[in-house]
Structure 1
Amino acid sequence: MNSVREYGRAVTTPFGAPAGAMETFIEVPFELGGKKVFPDGLIRVKWGKKVWVALVEVKTGTNELQREQLENYLDVAREHHFDALITISNEIAPAPGVHPTVVDGRKLRSVAMYHLSWSEVLTLAVMQREFRGVADPDQAWILGELIRYLEHPKSGALEFSDMGASWVPVRDAVTSGTLRKADKDAAEVAGRFDALLRFASLKLGQRLGAEVTQVLSRAETTDPVLRTTALTNMLVTDGVLRGQVRIPNTVSPLTVTADLRAGQVTCSFDLTAPTDGRATTRVNWMLRQLKDSPDSSASRRSSPVSEPELRNCSASHGRTLRR
């Protein structure tokens, strides 16, 4: 972050840091309650008279962030009037702005706490080097080495690999019809599903060079419990988990539906047909949009729809084609 200016700013600006000179330190010792604590890192950014400081705590592999440790660092940050605590681990937050580790809310009154998954750290690096650019060639090389390191299987930066220990019991309960809304496993699987969507968004964004984000309502963003409750109800009632991903310059959000009863995952876009002209005109217009789609697409058709075919189609009255 200190060596590649553009990357350092990409990481810290969303957390409130100014676009100034950055200094970074590792394992800075602090006194807290008669003992010494050692946060993994400290970031200091100066811009004129403004100084922004954040402590950093890092976990790799399957190691998870610890509440007591984070609360100690929040106390250190408060005593020294630092601005933030940034955590990095392989844990993926269930929703934007939600930290994967629950801490005493009183400790967040004067210090903000932010989280980055290693997937996000890698995505920011790829986006900066491949799409946004790094002015200095040497700095670009350094960032490339970071990317190469994080992509190595032994780096400790793991990808989202499973749905957690509750997945099999919940899947079996859905199949047998015994899942209940009060089951804790159902809420855990719902949270993991949203984490999966966020991870998929990051990976897709890396490939496209665009910001791909999960679609959530304003209420769900403000109160993640609403989203978890809605997914749990959906899982209990219909046996499915459903979410949306917003991809820039696409006709609609991508809807991802996991049907646990059928053992099937469906991805679809909704495309609205023109409202004028005959029904066959509208349907054929939509089919023309798919002329370059892969042969495996379920909705692919090379020839126009005739009027008799349309009359025989049970869905002929609809104006939406799902692909």
Structure 2
Amino acid sequence: MNRPTFLHKGEPARLFPVLADSSKEGRALSILLACFAHVPEFGRALMTSLGQRTGTRTRFRVFTEVEFAGNSGKNNRPDGILIVENGRSSWSALIEAKIGNAELTTEQLSAYCEIAKANGIDTIITISNQFAPLPTHHPLKLPASVRKKVEIFHWSWMYLLTQASLLIENEEIADTTQRLVLQEFIRFLSHESTGAKSFTSMPAEWPEIAAKIHAGGAVKQGAEEVKDVVGAWHQELRDLSLILTRQLKTEVKVRIQRKHVADPLLRLKDDVATLCRENRLEACFQIPAAAAPLDLVADVKARSITTSMRLRAPEDKKSTRARLSWLLRQIGKAELPATHIRLYWPGRGGATQYALDALRENADIALPDRKEIAPHTFEIIHVCDLGARFTQRKNFISDLESAVPAFYEQIGQYLKAWQPSAPRMPEDRASKKDVEPAVIAEEMAQEVAEGSSVEE
């Protein structure tokens, strides 16, 4: 593999790198980049996440231990480079990887931006155990001066593991050898000795902030520790979406408003405001083919985690009893304590709420005084009261990562959205002749005549 001209040094990425035992980052990155070259479907899937077009003829050139002319200092040596060639056009990315507890720094990225700009490299891709909502966002709060130099993307190691797992689980790798290579990559990255890991702990500021809000105190929107807590929440949401993706074998996404996709700092600001104003952290997960989005609320004041899904009530069933029976049949097997059903009523009726167990024993407790009205929406809610565990950095994360999958496994996967029945064709209109203009005109004339006779 020929080295690009702007590289002073650089080794082709290998599946079996010969590196010192202490070089965990170098080993992991070499194997990852080698998978680009040896498993094209994997490389193409990751390029799609960055908005890059690829095809069956796309070629990946990958190098590690790179050194650029005039930048021989230890701090100015990125971990690797990726070159994507599509015919005569090419796109390049400088790669910086961290593993274990090592974290990326703004200073290092700023220096790499200068290198990329000086050598005509299109972008920088960072990889670490830090999480970002989207590859286009970044776990670091990068100043605009850095962002303007070159485009920067980010992948977590868990994201890479998840994408590889999806390709294997969905049988998208046809070549037997390539499939084996990717399976071995998954096995390698999954081993604890590699240093790739999930998000496991809220920041050090979490216990104090959570305890203060629970006691009725206020937190300031501009405080850095509050921003750090919300930033950690965003990282955990990303990790949780990847966990659900691996469990369900289909891509689960955190729903992000369009304005927040374009501006991650605005998302941080708005969610900080929600925490300070409403004492809660919120999220919504989009699960393919599910009856509804899965909503998540961490109520800091109440020290509880709430998961819920909303369903439109079936309009072809007119009574409250019939509509409620339609819902209860769907979750007949659910065994999740502290589950409630909220019924939303038309007009100013507001909402009423009952425990699922109570409704199973006697659904009539939900019947309204006015028999002619019926609920238009149901919300299935599960509440986990964590108590003191809510303020504990690791227990909060572990309980959250248990509560969300449990709700979907017990309830969410069984819910079905109501859909109107297909329109029926009357027997007197089954033929084309039955709807000829002359026939329609005759029917209208007859209806007018009948209406006139009634008035007389």
Change in Cα spacing, 1:309 to 1:7, as seen in structure 2 (3 Å) is closer
* Residue 282, structure 1, aligned to residue 307, structure 2: no
Residue by residue over 1:269-297, the C-alpha shift from the partner in whole angstroms, topping out at 9 and shown as x without a partner, is 11121245122222222222222433647
* Other structure's SS at 2:363 match: coil
| Contact preservation (8 Å) 1:96, 1:221 | no
* Other structure's SS at 1:159 match: coil
Q: How does 1:237-316 map to 2 (within 5 A)?
A: 237-276=277-316, 277-294=318-335, 296=337, 298=339, 299=356, 302=360, 305-306=363-364, 310-311=367-368
* Other structure's SS at 1:45 match: strand
* Other structure's SS at 2:90 match: strand
Query: Within 2, Cα distance between the matches of 1:31 and 1:292?
Result: 66
Correspondence for 1:18:
54
- 1:64 to partner: Cα distance: 0.8
Query: Within 2, Cα distance between the matches of 1:309 and 1:126?
Result: 45
* Other structure's SS at 2:244 match: helix
- 1:73 to partner: Cα distance: 1.8
Query: Within 2, Cα distance between the matches of 1:170 and 1:203?
Result: 27
- 1:209 to partner: Cα distance: 1.6
Correspondence for 2:102:
63
Q: Which moved more, 1:129-138 or 1:101-110?
A: 101-110
Q: Which moved more, 1:78-87 or 1:179-188?
A: 179-188
* Other structure's SS at 1:64 match: coil
Correspondence for 2:380:
322
Correspondence for 1:209:
249
- Aligned residue identity for 2:228: E
- Size of the aligned set, in residue pairs, is 321
- Aligned residue identity for 2:329: R
Query: Within 2, Cα distance between the matches of 1:17 and 1:208?
Result: 27
Q: How does 1:1-323 map to 2 (within 5 A)?
A: 1-15=36-50, 16=52, 18-19=54-55, 20-32=58-70, 35=73, 37-93=76-132, 97-109=136-148, 111-182=150-221, 183-276=223-316, 277-294=318-335, 296=337, 298=339, 299=356, 302=360, 305-306=363-364, 310-311=367-368, 319-323=377-381
Residue by residue over 1:59-83, the C-alpha shift from the partner in whole angstroms, topping out at 9 and shown as x without a partner, is 0011111222212222222122111
Q: Which moved more, 1:120-129 or 1:71-80?
A: 71-80
- 1:148 to partner: Cα distance: 1.0
| Contact preservation (8 Å) 1:181, 1:232 | no
RMSD: 2.6
* Other structure's SS at 1:206 match: helix
Normalization by structure 2: what TM-score?
0.65
- 1:33 to partner: Cα distance: 6.1
| Contact preservation (8 Å) 1:75, 1:107 | no
Q: Which moved more, 1:118-127 or 1:12-21?
A: 12-21
Runs of 5+ consecutive residues of structure 2 not aligned to the other structure: 1-35, 340-355, 382-456
Residue by residue over 1:45-99, the C-alpha shift from the partner in whole angstroms, topping out at 9 and shown as x without a partner, is 2121111111110000111112222122222221221111111001112566221
Query: Within 2, Cα distance between the matches of 1:242 and 1:107?
Result: 30
Change in Cα spacing, 1:297 to 1:107, as seen in structure 2 (3 Å) is closer
| Contact preservation (8 Å) 1:18, 1:52 | no
Normalization by structure 1: what TM-score?
0.90
- 1:303 to partner: Cα distance: 6.1
Query: Within 2, Cα distance between the matches of 1:190 and 1:180?
Result: 12
Change in Cα spacing, 1:174 to 1:102, as seen in structure 2 (3 Å) is closer
- Aligned residue identity for 2:282: R
Query: Within 2, Cα distance between the matches of 1:64 and 1:163?
Result: 15
| Contact preservation (8 Å) 1:286, 1:321 | no
Same amino acid, percent of matched pairs: 32
Query: Within 2, Cα distance between the matches of 1:148 and 1:114?
Result: 25
